[in-house]
Structure 1
Amino acid sequence: MHPRNVQKLFPTRLAQRLVCTVLFYWLGFTPLGYADDNPLSDYFIETWTTANGLPHNSINAIEQTSDGYLWFATWEGVARYNGLEFVLFDRSPNTHMQDSGTRALATGPDNQLYAGGARGSLVMRSGFSWQNLPVAPSLINDALHDQSGGLWLAIEGMGVLYYTSKQLRQPSPDPQHFIKTTSSYHLAQTDQGHVYAATEDGVYQLSKHAGAAHLSFHNLFTKAFYVSSSQDGALLVGSESGAWRYKNERWTPLASALLNQAITMVEQDSRGTYWFGTLNRGIAHLRDNHLDFLDGHRGLPNNRILSWFEDNEGSIWIGTNGGAMRLRYAPFVTLTKDNGLAGNYVRTVLGGDGDTVWAGSSEGLSQINTIAGNARVLADNISVLSLAHRQQGGLWVGTYQKGLYYWHQGSLTAANTINDQLPDSEIRAVVERNGVLWVGTPRGLVEFDQHQSKSPTAASVPYQKQALYHSQNSALPGSYIMSLSFDDTDKLWIGTGRGASYLLEKTITTLDFSAQEQAQYVFGFFHEPGYVWMATDRGIVRYRQADGHQALVGRPQGLPIDKFFQIVKGDDQSFWLSSNRGIWRINYDHAHQVADKTRTRIDFEHYDQSDGMLNSQANGGSNPAATKTSRGDIIFATAKGVTSVNPTRLSQLLSHPLPIVMQSVRFDSKEINPETTGKVPAGTNRILFSYAALGYTMPEQIQYRTQLEGFESDWAYRHENHIAEYTNLPPGDYTFKVSARYPYSDWSDDVLSYHFSVMPSLWQRADVRALGFLLTVLAAYAAFMWRIRHMKKKAIQLEALVEEKTQALQAQADDFERMSKEDALTGLANRRAFDEYWHQVFEESRQSGTDLQVAILDIDHFKRINDHYSHLVGDQIIQRVGSLLLREQTHLRHIARWGGEEFTLLLAGTPADGYRYFDGLRRRIAALDLNDIAPSLSITVSIGVASNHQASDYVDGLKKADQALYRAKRDGRNCVRQSNDTA
């Protein structure tokens, strides 16, 4: 029976839907249930609300323009997102919006954004400009820019309007009108060019030539909320009665479990997965015939779904009544008890055969299938500390306070004969080699030898204690054994709480770590031909087998923390380091170069909860705490599950292009449109560029470099800073360029360029200078002739005149010199003056041994002050801070405005003196009374301080102060951080 005949036999809509469901089963459509596994666990979830910068929590529409920006339509305006912050565009003369309330967004091929909403407001954004378009007769629910350049509008209570591209440019056009008395909610265009509208009266196919054609639904539903197109060209419909697929005049349900649900949206993403929005159950996800729901209990801001979007990087954005959510494939994937682990507090992981990883937690032993991304519990109610492969098959399992166990043939058994011979029942490290078992405990290292019987079985071979090594009876530096590992020369490496040793042929050799920042705790080893790397509480130490030479890669070499637990070499030629503060990646070759002292600093990349980890605390002190699988996955034991990263997959995530946009350009305090303005007025002191690379995978880690051609001969590395500022540029033609990259990646080929010219002042113009020179020559000649004629009579007057002109020229020269080194807004020295002075006193202090502290002071959240109060108030704040700093001249050797909201300060004294003074200065600024500028306004500052003795040159001193300032901001602002502070 064809579904279109159902209505003849069953008059009620409920009966019709039930019978249709039976028919769909009979016709071969498989029913869909809830997933046994959780497909949504593949995604890393992030949410945004008004607390994170959104202007309103109802996200009515989401779009991405071709320049890479993401746009969110809300009832308080359109929010633009660059991966780090939102910028609001609401009703104003600049946007031409009739009302801030925005319901609809659509994009055009030439980077256009169309925004429609309350009061029929319709505007278009292109580049930095907004243009008003014809006002619609009512609320615009949706907009669609079609393949011919026309614009379709879904109107509340008034059907659909269509404007040709020509009509959009007319002040009072006469658009084509469809289904005039029906509320239309959503529009879609298929690859074949067909346009469909979801309305309160079902689905219509719209044609500019044939009008509106109502599709037959066989009484399956009446109201349609949403239409979209699938990958195979089918029409997808979200209705009051489920989600439907329409192709070849045939309707089929996408998910039988949703037939009684009101579906507010249905889309198919680039991977073929279906997504369904509901009124009160959140978002549904259909993959491989598994239906899974994501609702408020699992992190969704609100269960009512308003919008959905897949961005250029494949991330899924969901708009709700309570904020926005993003689901993305994060660099790190974490498995927890929800995925089958015995417990979340994982202490040890061990790679097995193929795709198997063993995990020991405080609640038991688990086996992980890294392909399937799930785990199963092998044993519970046992606290596991360490794991090792057993030569007779299975695993050795070291526990907390229950001694040693072994897992073999599906069962976990206590190794009682061994435990009876142990000095302690806490087993933190185990290793077996050539029939000898080594067990590490807090009271020493125990050696067991295997005693073979005539026909031993894998489970019955006894072990006899051979020796106990501890700090009292051997050369071990400490008895608390934390790690054990064999290298390729048969040395047994022993990590303790007091240092490291190796045992070879019954002889223990202890390493002296006194030159390695007094390292003590040795948590793990990594072996490679010729070298042993050790993870310690003072960084990582390299031991060279040929001559026993040791070298540290730690804080003095650029790592921001001391303590690392495990070292794993990835297939990407990187070292991956676990720690209490996330996972760190360093370049393998660079680590060797630093150890060889052919490189002074080590660059690093840091990963934490923002990259997919559920907890930034990786565990150590028991072994192994990290491992690598045959596929190249690197697995870490953490305080909340087992976290893994695949360097190849990470590289793929970071391989997306990084389009770079110019966010704003300011000449002094005035923001200009760089698309229409390329001339900098004469007398401009400061030019500020704000730029962003629109990558959303790890936006916080995108690095930038800039170059101002005509002023700089090479690129300037900006780290993660997306603001560049130049002051007092001389007249001339310039090109500002920006390039971006993810760490360990090549710089993007997409280089942003902005060409501009700085106009000369009158006195800087070549023609004025030539005229002045000519007049000077003529005046000098006339004076000379006059002097010849009247030398005797006018000698005294001529001498006075010459002196007067000389003084005037000197005064002018002094003014020019002062102007080139003084900040016009505050009267303080400018950046150029400070650079010259700092360079001079740095070299003098190097010879005299004087202590100097250089600081960079930055006004916190200054952009918010400008945005909220105005740039005039922002300038007054800068002046007020500058006035306070001028009063500090008795304490400071030099004060300058560095640019923008930043000041540089120079203090004579030790780091302790510097911290006390600058912390007091921070408090005095926080106590400023600014009510005369703006009521209830207060400010705080962040200060980064560096000592001259920490820097190799004056430039390095400023760099260290800037890095300290960055840490102060990262630590919450309104604080002082010195360059030797813990990061």
Structure 2
Amino acid sequence: MSTLSFKTLGLVVLTTILLSSKLFAEPVPLSEYFIEHWTDQHGLPHNSVNSIRQTPDGYLWFATWEGVVRFNGREFTRFGSDTVDTLNDSGIRALTVTPEGELLAAGSRGAFSRYSDNQWQPMPHIDARINYILQDRQQNIWLATNSQGLFRIDSDNKIRHFTTSEGLPTLTIETLHEDNLGNLWVGTASGLVRVSRNMLTLIRDIPAVPVISIAEDQSGKLVIGAEAGLYRGQGDTFSAFYPDILNNGISQLMADDQGALWVGTARGELFRITEQNIDQVGPKQGLPDSRIKALYQDNEKSLWIGTNSGLVRLRTANFSTISTQQGLPSDYVRSVLSTHDGSILAGTSHGLARIQGNQAEPVPLPLAETALPSILSLAQQGDNILIGTHQHGLLLLGPDNQLQQFSVAQGLPSNQVRAVIQQENGTIWAGTAQGLSRISSQGTRHYNQSNGLLDDYVMALAQDPSGNIWIGTESGAAIYMQGTIQTLTLDHLDNTRSVYGFYAGKDGEYMWLATDRGLVRYRYHDQSLSMIGLQQGFPIQKLFQVVEDNKQNLWLTSNMGIVRMPLQQAHGIADGIIEKADVRVFSSGEGMLSHQANGTSGPAVTKDQSGNILIATAKGVARVNPDHIKELSDFSVPVVLERLEVDGQALPVTNSLELPADTRRIQFRFAGLGYILPDAIEYHTRLEGFDSNWVARGNVPVAEYTNLSPGKYQFQVKASYPGAEQTTNHPMLNVKMRVTPYFWQRTEVIASAILLALLMLIAFVRAREHVLRAHARELREQVQVQTQEIQQQARLFEQQAMQDPLTGLANRRSFDNYLKQLSHNPTQYTGYFLAIIDIDNFKLVNDRWSHDVGDRAIHAVASVIAHNCREGDHAARWGGEEFSLVMPGVDVHKASEICERIRQQIQAADYSHLGFGLTLTVSIGLSGSVALDDYRRLLIEADKALYHAKSSGRNSVRIWKSPPTPTPIGSKSA
């Protein structure tokens, strides 16, 4: 090879490396950022957020027209003129944080105050609306006012006033900025002014229009945001910056710590300018269609945006979501499939879509029906796409867009196809709501309970490396092998029943089953089954689907989030080597619009050719790159003391506390100031002098101590995201505390008291001997009386043990005893019915109105049930929001009438005294027995009926009739 060739090759290699480095450095597109909103509906006192700052303790502060707002990630705390004496108006326009960590707030009518050490302190009054505050390097405070010009307050509180006579083009000042040379730049309503050594210079290169914001880019150049556009320059020389794109309505600028320039506009558009490109996000992507008034980057690198329509946070997240905003025909997605051409098919409630990159487009399906089909399941074999629908049966879409339909008319047992696969020999397996169909060149054959399946409702299908077909139903799994069906019951594994998904391990030695009680592993060589569920420390009970990423992690979907679990850990638990699961649950705040993954059809999770995991959720397709996961443990969480109560009285928050000797109860309320997932923050506390070790508080930010002995203590708190390692340099809250002794608790008083007590003890012992003999007879007489009282008390305790303390109904233990007794005395009644009653959407009650309202709602429902009980009926609280009702000596019509009356009364009741807008409905599963010989089966049937009541819309009564399906009695949408 010639020297020139070597040089050419070297240049190509170098160019490739440089291009690769540049590509690697490309920022995440704004379209993949996670957007969150807060308004007055979430606790803000006003929707206009004028300024944003973060103090060194970690609090975020917002300026609104109804006061200064402090945010800890969960709650907003307002400071206004009605609560802060030093603020003469609640309209706050400007915030700044001084180098000393103090917060300055100013706004309407000269409202101006300093916040330091949990106290508001007055500042010199300026009789004008203050638009902006800046403290320069010489500790001078500059105030930009709306109609009174520019003010400077020095360290001695001397005020100097700059007006048009000093060179200002107007008395309306919009913004201020101090550059790296110490020059002060003043944005006015009529152009830009530089202040240097008290000399004012008007910059002629900037038009005489309002200059709203000023920033300094990574190169040290100033960027000027004006109503006429964006300008950049140095000294007195400026020129238009991106004039073709940013030529008017600039409302806010910010340079982040990565060198990117953020530009907000009056139209609600946000631009990011980097060395590589300019990117944009706006109302079409989820930002409010409102003026951007403030931009701020917090300590966790999130971008906070203040608008006239509330507060917005924009940040990178572990997940991104493809929804209707990116082209999906519907946000409700039931199935996702990675195709051979590298695209992703998404089955939605309004048709099929193809996802390529960050965009989606509908896939037309040439059906005779005008309504778009609701897609339940997808599969691919060769160039054919198999589509299972909710009402249109099974569709076979060919490469030429030809569509073949299999429905009830062509021999399917049901048009509801929840699972489908096609074998290499062309055989199609379709799992429907009425059984399994095998479609081949020899015809169609059906399988259901009559010929091998445990249940007709088929929800999952998979083919293992040996060619066997795995079938998941509501009552267990089955395996089709060599022409026969072998059932696989799972009842012995924590009463597991429903199987929602399968994953055949890459090694071909295992099959993983996602079930209603956790993750089950089936090992081929010994046909053993192992459970990973709640008892093994798994945080979620019901799992829908499983997939393995390229890093040997299992990803499991559920209604309560997405779980990542190392495959090695899963095998360790299944083998009994590891006792407890240690997994990561991804939920709200991780970038998903909804963490509710969909099940009972599929595949609901898939892996694309790049290794990304895609999940079908209730709001679009969630996507995560396992290689780019940001662990929460990477973020440090500062912790602050927010409230201090002593014997029920609130005290000023302090880090040094002196308490009197008669102190009975001390309560600390604290907050970890992490904003990514504030509800996931975990707390550890220790009271030195009382606790020997750190106490894990979970996510409860409260610690309470009672009756502390006199002495010195130190209360300490550490806050962290899950998985963070607790180290000695971890941010910590420290509060020193001293409980003073009573006078008699002093050392000299105690010594004297001990000596006196010894003398008195001797005298007492002698006197006591006489008294004991005198009372011996009396004691013997009292023994009999006390024995009777103890027996009576024991009976009372036994009664309490059988009663639920919240509702006053019988508890689960009482119910079990009663049902057993009823089954063992068949001559007492000719038959009985069992109803299981469940409050619909009860988690929403707790989440929206609080757990206290939830408890009172449970009590209200229990009262309705008790009111409808006949003599001899047995009502009990089954557990949580579930109740049971045993009705002996009734027929199906009478039992149905009682249950329907209960359902209607609960729905019609007024719960407004519990919570505004609160309504309650219940779903009821009913099953009856005449033989009275198998109460366990009766429970199972009632539970099945309840499941169908819940899955078919809730607020209904279902009677179990087997086979084929429960019978609806009555229902009405809540």
Q: Secondary structure at the match of 2:142?
A: strand
**Cα displacement (A) at 1:802:** 8.9
1:534 equivalent to 2:522? Answer: no
715, 722, 733: which one aligns with 1:752: 733
Q: Secondary structure at the match of 1:767?
A: helix
CA deviation profile, 1:623-653 (whole Å, cap 9, x unmatched): 2111123544321112332122334444256
Assess if the C-alpha contact under 8 Å between 1:221 and 1:241 holds in 2: no
In the alignment, structure 1 segments of 5+ residues that lack a partner are 1-37, 449-462, 785-797, 807-840, 862-880, 882-908, 918-926, 931-935, 941-983
> Which residue matches 2:618?
639
> Which residue matches 2:240?
252
1:285 equivalent to 2:285? Answer: no
Query: Which sits farther off after the overlay, 580-589 or 632-641?
Result: 580-589
> Which residue matches 1:821?
none
Q: Secondary structure at the match of 1:712?
A: coil
> Which residue matches 2:221?
234
Structure 1 residues 403-442: aligned runs within 5 Å: 409=399, 411-414=401-404, 427-435=417-425, 437-442=427-432
**Cα displacement (A) at 1:488:** 4.1
Distance 1:441 1:491, change over 3 A: closer
1:45 equivalent to 2:45? Answer: no
333, 336, 360: which one aligns with 1:375: 360
Assess if the C-alpha contact under 8 Å between 2:187 and 2:212 holds in 1: yes
Structure 1 residues 16-35: aligned runs within 5 Å: none
> Which residue matches 2:926?
none
Amino acid at match of 2:79: F
1:683 equivalent to 2:670? Answer: no
Structure 1 residues 75-90: aligned runs within 5 Å: 75-90=65-80
> Which residue matches 1:793?
none
CA distance in 1, matches of 2:695, 2:308: 44
**Cα displacement (A) at 1:910:** 7.7
Distance 1:518 1:409, change over 3 A: same
Distance 1:355 1:275, change over 3 A: farther
CA deviation profile, 1:113-172 (whole Å, cap 9, x unmatched): 1122234343322332333333335332111233444432223333333344xx1xx4x4
> Which residue matches 2:380?
389
> Which residue matches 2:697?
718
> Which residue matches 2:174?
185
CA deviation profile, 1:183-242 (whole Å, cap 9, x unmatched): 2121123344432111123111222x2522211136x34322222222332222222323
Amino acid at match of 1:140: I
Q: Secondary structure at the match of 2:219?
A: coil
Q: Secondary structure at the match of 1:769?
A: helix
Amino acid at match of 1:565: F
CA distance in 2, matches of 1:914, 1:576: 29
> Which residue matches 2:838?
none
Amino acid at match of 1:719: G
- Which TM-score applies when normalising by structure 2? 0.68
Assess if the C-alpha contact under 8 Å between 1:543 and 1:549 holds in 2: yes
Q: Secondary structure at the match of 1:737?
A: strand
181, 193, 204: which one aligns with 2:193: 204
CA distance in 2, matches of 1:534, 1:93: 58
CA distance in 1, matches of 2:127, 2:767: 79
Structure 1 residues 47-62: aligned runs within 5 Å: 47-62=37-52
Structure 1 residues 461-860: aligned runs within 5 Å: 464-465=441-442, 468=445, 470-471=447-448, 474-516=451-493, 518-528=495-505, 529=507, 530-554=509-533, 563-570=542-549, 575-584=554-563, 595=574, 607-608=586-587, 610-652=589-631, 655-673=634-652, 675=654, 677-747=656-726, 749-773=730-754, 850-851=801-802
**Cα displacement (A) at 1:106:** 0.7
Assess if the C-alpha contact under 8 Å between 1:224 and 1:239 holds in 2: yes
CA distance in 2, matches of 1:760, 1:134: 45
Distance 1:669 1:845, change over 3 A: closer
Amino acid at match of 2:200: A
**Cα displacement (A) at 1:365:** 3.5
CA distance in 2, matches of 1:916, 1:496: 25
**Cα displacement (A) at 1:606:** 5.4
CA distance in 1, matches of 2:678, 2:212: 34
Assess if the C-alpha contact under 8 Å between 1:330 and 1:612 holds in 2: yes
Amino acid at match of 2:175: H
> Which residue matches 1:101?
91
Q: Secondary structure at the match of 1:651?
A: coil
CA distance in 2, matches of 1:70, 1:581: 29
1:151 equivalent to 2:158? Answer: no
Q: Secondary structure at the match of 2:49?
A: coil
Distance 1:911 1:713, change over 3 A: farther
Distance 1:475 1:105, change over 3 A: same
**Cα displacement (A) at 1:417:** 14
Q: Secondary structure at the match of 2:209?
A: coil
Assess if the C-alpha contact under 8 Å between 2:408 and 2:415 holds in 1: no
CA distance in 2, matches of 1:350, 1:542: 24
CA distance in 2, matches of 1:612, 1:84: 18
Q: Secondary structure at the match of 1:684?
A: coil
**Cα displacement (A) at 1:741:** 2.6
**Cα displacement (A) at 1:349:** 1.1
- Which TM-score applies when normalising by structure 1? 0.68
In the alignment, structure 2 segments of 5+ residues that lack a partner are 1-27, 368-372, 772-792, 809-844, 846-855, 857-874, 884-909, 919-974
Amino acid at match of 1:282: G
Assess if the C-alpha contact under 8 Å between 1:628 and 1:634 holds in 2: yes
CA distance in 2, matches of 1:330, 1:271: 17
> Which residue matches 2:335?
348
**Cα displacement (A) at 1:500:** 0.8
Structure 1 residues 126-141: aligned runs within 5 Å: 126-141=116-131
Q: Secondary structure at the match of 1:770?
A: helix
CA deviation profile, 1:910-964 (whole Å, cap 9, x unmatched): 85699999xxxxxxxxx9xx9xxxxx999x9xxxxxxxxxxxxxxxxxxxxxxxx
**Cα displacement (A) at 1:567:** 2.0
Distance 1:253 1:665, change over 3 A: same
Distance 1:126 1:196, change over 3 A: same
> Which residue matches 2:324?
337
Assess if the C-alpha contact under 8 Å between 2:388 and 2:418 holds in 1: yes
CA distance in 2, matches of 1:363, 1:612: 24
Assess if the C-alpha contact under 8 Å between 1:61 and 1:105 holds in 2: yes
Amino acid at match of 1:623: G
Amino acid at match of 2:732: V
Distance 1:316 1:856, change over 3 A: farther
CA distance in 2, matches of 1:339, 1:412: 27
Assess if the C-alpha contact under 8 Å between 2:229 and 2:240 holds in 1: no
Q: Secondary structure at the match of 1:738?
A: strand
Assess if the C-alpha contact under 8 Å between 1:418 and 1:464 holds in 2: no
CA distance in 2, matches of 1:98, 1:52: 26
CA deviation profile, 1:429-473 (whole Å, cap 9, x unmatched): 33345535341232554556xxxxxxxxxxxxxx62377351367
CA deviation profile, 1:685-735 (whole Å, cap 9, x unmatched): 122222222111111121222222221222222121111111111122222
Structure 1 residues 115-134: aligned runs within 5 Å: 115-134=105-124
Amino acid at match of 2:215: S
Assess if the C-alpha contact under 8 Å between 2:87 and 2:113 holds in 1: yes
The number of residues matched between the two structures is: 758
1:357 equivalent to 2:344? Answer: yes
Amino acid at match of 1:765: R
1:111 equivalent to 2:101? Answer: yes
Assess if the C-alpha contact under 8 Å between 1:404 and 1:418 holds in 2: no
Assess if the C-alpha contact under 8 Å between 2:176 and 2:185 holds in 1: yes
**Cα displacement (A) at 1:775:** 7.0
CA deviation profile, 1:798-855 (whole Å, cap 9, x unmatched): 999999xx9xxxxxxxxxxxxxxxxxxxxxxxxxxxxxxxxxx99x989x99547677
CA distance in 2, matches of 1:664, 1:640: 38
**Cα displacement (A) at 1:532:** 2.3
Percent of paired sites with the same residue: 35
> Which residue matches 1:304?
291
**Cα displacement (A) at 1:420:** 6.3
CA distance in 1, matches of 2:420, 2:803: 52
Q: Secondary structure at the match of 2:671?
A: strand
Distance 1:397 1:487, change over 3 A: same
